[in-house]
Structure 1
Amino acid sequence: MVIKTMNKMMKRYFQLKRPCISLLGALLFIIGSLPTAASAAQAVATVSKNIVGVNEVFQLVVSVDANINTNSLDLSPLATYFTYGRPSVSSINSFNNGVVSRNTEWKVAIATKAIGEFTIPSFRIGSSTTEPIIITSLKSGNANTAAKSTEPDIKLDAEIDKDQLYVGESLRYRVQIRIGEQIDQPALVAPFGDGLDIVQDGDDRQVETVLNGRRYIVITRYYQISATKAGTITLEGAQFKGSVVKGSRGFGSTLSVPVDKKAKDITLTIKGKPDDYQGLWLPTPELKIEQQWQPQQGSSQLNNIHAGEPITRIITLHIKNTAQSSMPNLALTYPSSVRMYDEKPVYSSNNGFTSMTVKHVIIPRKDGSLVLPELSINWWNTITGTQETSKVDGLALTILPGDNTNTVSTPMVPTLPDSQPTTETKPTEVTVVTDSGWWPWLTATFASLWVITLLLWLRARKNVAPAANASANNTAISSDNYHRLVQAVTVNDALKVQTYYQQWAKHSLPNDFITQMDQEVANMMAAIYSKHSQEGNSGTVWNNAILLSLLQQARNHSAQSLQSSALEELIPTKS
């Protein structure tokens, strides 16, 4: 009985423990299978083709059946024999029939650099490595073996207008690029050579054209090349650098194939300056000088220039095949009887000519004969091999006196009052005198003197009136010039300021005050017309507030002087 009871209890115990044993067994199976799954992760490398042409783009795919860091693949071993682009990376997790699968994949576009057999090396990803792949790179092939070699559709041409020139002379170098590809980071390196000064001439010219059904971009650039020493010099051709962007649909990646094309080198023969040449060395096939006068030469206005009025001389120099840095300074010596202000030269280029325009503003100081100098330039004709001289004539003028330049204004006398002032008399006591004594004779004497004084005063008044009228006229003219001068200063019209300032009568001002105004007018002319003040932001900027303030002070001083002079005419001095 006891034995049966124990058997039943044991049987029931094992029945209760069986679910726990099953659960534990499943857990042990999963844990045991994890190392097996990790060790089963494999990396595989494949290519879209293994027989290709040089620079032909094909696809490399590296995948691993695990979800790992996307930076785990190092593509740098490809750089020895292949060019490659930036990879496209994807990570995929999928669940199918209760099974979870993970995959990481890299797609990259690559191309061979040369002809031959090259090996895509093994890539190590975690504990797994890919198998190496042998790639055959051909120059060309048929449709069954390899794609045709894909040479970038880029053409570079260069030419010059001459290969013999003199020291200091320039030639024009034209480079043209025809591009039928998608380009990344293009750059054109200028030609160069020992003893050559090379600068770009103008901006690039870009057009689109269609050739044999394909669309191209054509870029043209010009360089101006100047020789700095004699001898035989090799001009290294211009060079185009960049990357052609390649790739195919479905690659998920593009490849930048480096491009480096160079124009042919050119040999130049540079001749030196002849020993017997005299003057400034200017070698050129053509030199022209143009000149204009304002007012125009031959006009009646130019023949009636007054002292203080401006004359503008505009000279333009055209030199062919000459760099801007080689243009001469047009230094002219003007007579001391004029003031000359020259503006900063203006340069331009057209049809192989470099042009320089200068403007001289000439202001005669005084009347009389004036001869403005001619301009002559010696230059070497590179076509004929001879020295030549080009020149423009000067100008002979008779300068008329300036309006009111030497006029001395007389202070204006105010009009006398209609009634004369009378002396106030006090009432006197009347006394009957039987004997007047000497008083009647004394009174008659004073009365006679008073009448004589009155007659002399009336006569003097007649003489003063014309002088007062002339002074009023001069003062009116001076006032008009003053207002014109103030208006010209306000708008910074330098030429009118110079003219009206010369015509404005300043005789009543102190000498030191006139000196201040002379200096400020000179500062104005220098700031506006001086070549040194127009060399960019560093130039002097003239402020007209100082001169306007001086003019107002001068006006106030003149008014006070005028009033004082008028009072002196009315109040007789004591003897």
Structure 2
Amino acid sequence: MIQAVYCEEKCIANISVEAENKKKRRFGKTMNIKTNNLNHSISRGSFLITNKIALLFLCVLTYLFSNALRAELTQSIDRTNIHAGETFVLTLQINEEIDEQPDLSLIPKEFTVLSNSQYQQSSYVNGRGSTVKGWKIKLSTLKTGNITIPSIAVGHLKSTPIKLFIKDTSDRVTLGGQKKAIFLESEVDNKSVYVQQQIIYTVRLFRAVNTHYARLSEPYAGDSIIEKLGEDVQYNKTIDNTRYLVTERRYAIFPQNSGSLKIDSVNFTADVNDPNQRNRNRFLNTTRPISVNSKEKMITVKPQPAKSSNPWIPAKSVVLADKWTPQTQELTVGEPITWTLLLTAQGLSEAQLPAIELPKVAGLQWYPDTPQKERQVNENGLLAQRIEKLAVIPSKEGTLTIPEIKVSWWDVKTDSQKTASIPARTFNVKASIQDVSTSNKIPTMISPVNSTQNQGNNSNISLWQNISGALFILWLITLTAYFFKSGSSQNIKNKNMKNPNKETPISLNEKSSLSSLNKSIKSNNANDIEKDLIVWINCLSDKNIFSIGDLLKSISDSNLKQKLNDIEQQRYAKKGNANSDYQCNLNKDDLSHIRHSLTSSVNKSDSSEIPSLY
């Protein structure tokens, strides 16, 4: 019994112990679970924090990387089919707001920068803003072949290089199937010239389409002087049923060294409407730039001939003429008279005309004025003129002769040395009126000398009275001569005014020049006719007449004008175009008309006018 109770208590104790142990185990397990849960929570929180930091770091990197990708400098051109001399546009664009400007010094020297414009565009999409900034640079080049536009820097950014192939430019442009829509022609009047001889270079631009921003370059010919001849001439011309607007431009080229001379191509650039561009938006530009070049010209320049004289004057014609103001064969000692020398050359610039050498004449004094240099433009190029005026004052009476004055020049048409001259002229120089008056001695009455002082004083008084009387008589003689001369001049002037249609008396100088002119007319030599005609008309008036063109301004008769034009045309005609059967139609009535036209204006002027230099 006792053992049974003991066993039961022991069992109960074991059960209690086991229950306690289970309880402890359950509590321990719970504690472990809580501990594990706590550790897991801590670990999970740390992981989340780490992830957030990493995500934030990744966002920062993405932002920075996206900005680096977004800041990009691009470089492009508007077209690739480019010919030498044509313009094209280089565009630099950056999608970032930046203050720096592109470094255009990196563009090669083969390119010409014509313009540089800047633009900027801003936009907002879904609340986000963006900015685009760019530059449009217009370029052109005359070099052909492969050319590279290098990388251009804008701030810290650089663009990608672009390779181009520039095609050679022809002398014509094809548009819309029309092979010669625009083309250039050039020509020279002579391919073999002497040094400093004039070359007429002509450029003609033919356009069958409208152009915009047109530009025609100037010619270049090495070591030469180039002068433009007048303004551009425009006219219409039809070629192969196509109507062209022709622009003609002429130049005078004077080579300065002998040898081979190359006249470079002249370039024409413009924008034209491109029919190949089909653009629905009428506000967009549908034009494209074009460029055409003329052909080069080679000239042979010969040196100055050994047998030629100096100064070297290579010209088509040279005329030396003179005129005296007033026209007279009689000079007076001490009284000035104006002498005008006219040197005219066809095919030279005024800077090439030399000074006229004057001979020394005993009894004559020269007082030259500043020479005048002028130029005119005609179909034969430049017409140069040198005008020298001198005051001529005789210093002694008698007969004085001014010898012949010559200017040697080289005739480029006949390839020979020639001489332009003014014939010798003789004057009769008379003494001045004052010299004549003082030469007439008037005797003075001298009273006998008395020994007394009063008689001496009376003698001195009488002497001074006689001298005063003599001076008074001289003054009266001078005054009378002056009024007599003025009255004679006034009578001559009144007679001329009363008879304006009456022919002016022919002077000896005019008579000789008229005789030479008549001989030239009979010989039908246009060169001699114009030369003698200019000499003759300069004997008639004080007008500055150097050529037939100047004379035509004073002629009203249409038939006479036509005859004068025929002379000028025959004279300057080329060898192949000259009329071998030319007959000069000038007659006596024509010469009388010319004389009347020139002398009538002289009679209207004051004959007592003081010479221009004094």
* TM-score with structure 1 setting the length: 0.50
* TM-score with structure 2 setting the length: 0.47
